[in-house]
Amino acid sequence: MAHWLWNDVREVDWRRHLASAGKSAFEQAWAYGEAAVAIGGFRVDRGVAMHQDRAIAIVQAFTRRYAGLVQVTQLLRGPLWLSDEITAEDRATLLHAIKTRFTSERLRFLYWVPELDASAAQEMRTVRLHRVMTGYSSIWLDLAPTAEDLRRALDGSWRNMVTSAERNDLVVKTGHGGQDFERLLARDDEQRRRRRFRAVGSAFLRTTAAATKPRSDVLVTSAHQGSEMVAGALFFRHGQAATYYVGWTSESGRKAHAQNLLLWRGILELKQVGVRWIDLGGLDTARQPGIARFKLGLGGTPYTLAGSYL
């Protein structure tokens, strides 16, 4: 019978399990959990599901108390399944066990965004939670093809913008922190305030980056014209996957198609170090159609999760 072992896992083993998950979610990375504790004031619970002495799933959840009485747990994009051979019975058992752990007493609530696609919504109905929001959407980009084939798969206009940017006077730098990382966080904070985006701020990202091991799993690409940084992109690697988390471009950077070039260079860099998939960090065709078109131009595969549940 499959069962959870809670809060008895080392960071090195968590990273190994995360790599086994393949298309993993950044919200289930160890460093993300450390930042949730340090910045958000949450308690983190990490579970490893076992079946016959073999790990078959992992899950990371964040809990906080309000007014000393109400306990709310957030479970974002988990659990992650480590095998395609898990039976429906074991999956149901593990999902029920999660709900029981976090809602077994009065005034305990679970906000759950399961890492299940829309076709698997029936699994959450058996847990007897109610869907309160439609599913999160994003795009997976498979890096298995050659660099030449990945470039050919780009939308024609997107590919032309990369070619144009390569001919401009842009100097592209890559790094894992430092001055350009700090500049990008500051520009992103300003951008979010101006556009009224709801997203994690620079303190959370800085803390996540500091907790990321190895530090090379934080990738910053930046474009410069002379001494001025005109665009930046931030990626976090987690196992075999990475997430495109922040993109910022100045007006002169937009004219030079700098973000297209930075994302393309980031793809090549991540592919070179063994990343198999990139999650392009959200897809909202209704409220952000321009950003959605930009991401779709990379030729990846859109996906939609089952929804958010209470």
| 228-287 confidence digits (pLDDT tens) | 999 999 999 999 999 999 999 999 999 999 999 999 999 999 999 999 999 999 999 988
Residue in the structure block whose two tokens are 């198609």: 257
Domain presence at residue 308? no
Q: Does residue 165 sit in the same domain as residue 287? A: yes
Q: Does residue 98 sit in the same domain as residue 148? A: no
Domain presence at residue 201? yes
pLDDT of 123 reads 84
Q: Does residue 155 sit in the same domain as residue 278? A: yes
What one-character-per-residue DSSP string does 196-254 give?
Answer: T-----HHHHHHHHHH-SSGGGEEEEEEEETTEEEEEEEEEEETTEEEEEEEEE-HHHH
Strands 241-249 and 277-279: parallel
CB 236 within 8 A of CB 269: no
Q: Does residue 79 sit in the same domain as residue 162? A: no
Determine the Cα–Cα distance for residues 258 and 2; give it in Å rounded to an integer.
49
**Of the candidates 129, 154, 188, which is a domain's last residue?**
129
Q: Does residue 64 sit in the same domain as residue 170? A: no
Q: Does residue 76 sit in the same domain as residue 197? A: no
Domain presence at residue 274? yes
- Total domains present in the chain: 2
Cα 198 off chain centre by:
15
Domain presence at residue 309? no
Q: Does residue 37 sit in the same domain as residue 147? A: no
Domain presence at residue 17? yes
Determine the Cα–Cα distance for residues 258 and 69; give it in Å rounded to an integer.
50
Q: Does residue 243 sit in the same domain as residue 299? A: yes
Determine the Cα–Cα distance for residues 236 and 243; give it in Å rounded to an integer.
5
pLDDT of 120 reads 75
Q: Does residue 122 sit in the same domain as residue 215? A: no
Domain presence at residue 195? yes
Domain presence at residue 310? no
**Of the candidates 129, 152, 187, which is a domain's last residue?**
129
Q: Does residue 75 sit in the same domain as residue 171? A: no
Q: Is the pTM of this model over 0.75?
A: yes
CB 277 within 8 A of CB 240: yes
Q: Does residue 169 sit in the same domain as residue 288? A: yes
Determine the Cα–Cα distance for residues 159 and 164; give it in Å rounded to an integer.
9
pLDDT of 198 reads 66
Find the helix packing angle between 202-211 and 30-40, rounded to 10°: 130
Q: Per-residue pLDDT tens for 275-287?
A: 999 999 999 998 8
β-sheet bridge partners, residue 59:
47
CATH number at residue 207: 3.40.630.30
Give me Rg for the CA atoms of the chain.
Answer: 20
Residues of the chain predicted below pLDDT 50? none
99: containing domain: 3-129
Q: Does residue 286 sit in the same domain as residue 145? A: yes
**Of the candidates 96, 111, 129, which is a domain's last residue?**
129
Determine the Cα–Cα distance for residues 246 and 252; give it in Å rounded to an integer.
18
pLDDT of 14 reads 98
